[in-house]
Amino acid sequence: GAVVSQHPSRVICKSGTSVKIECRSLDFQATTMFWYRQFPKQSLMLMATSNEGSKATYEQGVEKDKFLINHASLTLSTLTVTSAHPEDSSFYICSASGGPQSSYEQYFGPGTRLTVT
Amino acid sequence: AQTVTQSQPEMSVQEAETVTLSCTYDTSENNYYLFWYKQPPSRQMILVIRQEAYKQQNATENRFSVNFQKAAKSFSLKISDSQLGDTAMYFCAFMKPRGGSNYKLTFGKGTLLTVNP
């Protein structure tokens, strides 16, 4: 149990376009979902935390108008990178908590590699 | 703010031998959770082991065990009988429980472990 999926696994988009990444909890209802960004050979940096039906809480330095997060249901959160630029190229990982083991443990998706050309 | 320090950027070990990865953290909290995650080349984050700070007994999961020293704020991971599949980036992480379900993880910078045949 406690499987989290992400779609797409990799995406290439042109500079100036927007791209949406989906994060789904497949077999549990996720009370909270988290979005991380990971640059090559670096650690995970938390971008934002979202609860179903409410606005996301962004970490300091993360532009909320640039990275739009929607948590429309207990099993789906989306991250939209608006007007993407090459510097937005990165590996984006989501996680979800509220699974069968405990309310706090985070279950991670497989990640999405975004390349902006 | 909590900080997590992993002082070993890279380590290597021979197959079947034992290796210990170090992690220290800084917090003024008394109750918290600590985790070790593994990120293999696939980049899927995998939970290796967790420790609740209120538990004095060190957590173990098969070949993986921790040495949790609360007073010293140290949380090292020991991998016994190392296997080639253990080759991965290992992240130590801290979580402070807070009201509601917004349990945020703070990650260390990671230790790249290579298991040699």
SS3 label, residue B10? strand
Task: Inspect the interface and report whether the beta carbons of A44 and B102 lie closer than 8 Å.
Answer: no
Q: Which of A49, A105, A108 sits opposite B104 (nearest CB)?
A: A49
| Share of residues in chain A with pLDDT > 90 (%) | 75
Distance CA A10, CA A28 (A): 24
Eight-state DSSP code of residue B97: -
Tens digits of residue pLDDT in A7-48: 999 999 999 999 999 999 999 888 889 999 999 989 999 999
| CA torsion through residues A18, A25, A34, A88, sign | negative
Q: Which comes out higher in pLDDT, residue B96 or B16? A: B16
d(CA A11, CA B91): 26
Q: Are B24 and B73 in contact (CB under 8 A)?
A: yes
∠ CA A8-A31-A54, nearest 5°, is 85
pLDDT, tens digit, 9 for 90 and up, residues B26-56: 998 888 999 999 999 999 999 999 999 999 8
Could you tell me which residues are beta bridge partners of residue A108?
A95
Q: φ and ψ at B84, to 5 degrees? A: -55, -35
Interchain contact, B107 vs A43, CB within 8 Å: yes
* pLDDT at residue B98, rounded to an integer: 66
Report the mean per-residue pLDDT for chain A. Answer: 92
Question: Closest chain A residue to B108 measured between Cα atoms?
Answer: A43
Mean pLDDT of A53-73: 91
Q: In chain A, helix, strand, coil percent, each to 5?
A: 5, 50, 45
**Cβ(B92)–Cβ(B108) under 8 Å?**
yes
Q: Is B31 exposed, middle or buried (0-12, 13-18, 19+ CB in 10 A)?
A: exposed
Reported confidence tier of residue B101, pLDDT bands at 50, 70, 90: very low
Q: Average pLDDT of chain B?
A: 93
Provide the shortest C-alpha distance from residue B54 to chain A (in Å): 15
Joined together, the tokens standing for residue A90 give 């990165």
> Which amino acid does the sequence have at A75?
T
> A100 falls in which pLDDT band (50, 70, 90)?
low
pLDDT band at A103 (very low <50, low <70, confident <90, very high): confident
